[in-house]
Amino acid sequence: MKEGIHPEYREVVFQDMANGFKFITRSTVHTRETIKMDDGKEYPLMKLDVTSESHPFYTGAQQRIIETGRVEKFRQKFARTGATAAKA
């Protein structure tokens, strides 16, 4: 690899602002803030709005749509068009 053209790849703390969950991973993201973790080291801090700890899809808190209602609406909607197409 050529020297001096690649971004710095280092450990970074990502913090979920919705619930305060933090995790350390390696990244090239540029940050202005730092945070001191439990291990005594200081890491760059990247604040996130949503992570898998707070996203409704991963937490199971998303609203469940009643499928029977949607199926009935579909059948009612296309039952009329199917009958008119068959007559024509």
pLDDT in tens, 53-85: 877 666 666 555 555 677 787 888 888 765 555
In a domain, 53, yes or no: yes
Strands 33-36 and 22-27: unpaired
In a domain, 83, yes or no: no
In a domain, 23, yes or no: yes
pTM score, whole prediction: 0.61
In a domain, 63, yes or no: no
SS3 38: coil
* Chain-centre distance for alpha carbon 66: 24
How many domains does one find in the chain? 1
In a domain, 18, yes or no: yes
1 or 58, which is more confident?
1
Task: Name the residue range of residue 5's domain.
Answer: 1-58
